[in-house]
Amino acid sequence: MQKKNKTPWPTKQAMQQVYAKQLWGSSGAEFFSGEGSHHPELVIPYIEVLKTFLTSFKQPLVVADLGCGDFNIGKQLVQHTKQYIGVDIVPELIAHNIKTFKADNLQFQCLDIAQDQLPKADCVIVRQVLQHLSNAEVQSVLNKLSNYKYIVLTEHVPQGDFVPNKDIISGQGIRLKKQSGLDIIQPPFNFKVKTTTELLTIELNQNKGIIKTTLYQSIATT
């Protein structure tokens, strides 16, 4: 039986190019996920609110980090989970992470989160990932996120009012260039959730938008 071909979205090639050509900058390391994953003013507050959330449970959660990147952030959260699964679309990056980061409760998987089956977990972390995807890919991911009890979503969006969810071609760019940003509650996604909690909002200098982290509890779980 012939295997059905996947939709030819360009995301994997685009992300491989980002790392190979260091399009998000370089710190001298082999892989660099950009200032958003390294700048102390962005990273430290984020780590603190995630630690607070993860340690609020009597029983530690199983966490899937969808788009774990160079793991500069994830490595600081592993100890607060029952199991931590780092997922990324770039094979070379995942191979590097497997060699570099070790913990008994840590594993990595190379997956296309829009097209592949996602790992089972209590909570998913999706940090500045969906902002790089087309609306079709975002919708494909959201169809799977309803399976998780907790969704921690971080997006770079404009300051003030904006028209949400303008479509883009998947790649290194984001909707900010169109004066737009992702809001999964708004059309065309209309993602249904039980609760919404704003965990963190960081205003960037020079009117470059805000980095907003929101905790959603899925309506499909109890």
| pLDDT, tens digit (0-9, with 9 covering 90-100), for 132-152 | 999 999 999 999 999 999 999
Element (H, E) at 125: strand 123-127
Q: Is residue 77 over pLDDT 60?
A: yes
- For the beta carbon of residue 188, count every other beta carbon within 10 angstroms: 11
Q: Where does the pLDDT of residue 221 fall: very low under 50, low under 70, confident under 90, or very high at 90 and above?
A: low
Q: Verify cis geometry, omega within 30 degrees of 0, for the bond prior to 164.
A: no
Reduced to 3 states (helix: H, G, I; strand: E, B; else coil), residue 156 is: strand
Reduced to 3 states (helix: H, G, I; strand: E, B; else coil), residue 179 is: coil
pLDDT above 90 covers what percent of the chain? 71
Query: Mean pLDDT over residues 101-129, rounded?
Result: 96
Query: Rounded to an integer, what distance in angstroms lies between the CA atom of residue 149 and that of residue 49?
Result: 18
Indicate the range of 3-7, 140-144, 160-164, 188-192 predicted with least confidence: 3-7
Which of 81, 77, 78 is CA-nearest to residue 122? 81
Query: Rounded to an integer, what distance in angstroms lies between the CA atom of residue 51 and that of residue 53?
Result: 5
The better pLDDT of the pair 211, 27 is held by 211
11-218 folds as Rossmann fold (3.40.50)
Task: Report the DSSP pairing between strands 150-157 and 62-66.
Answer: unpaired
What residue spans define the domains of the chain?
A: 11-218
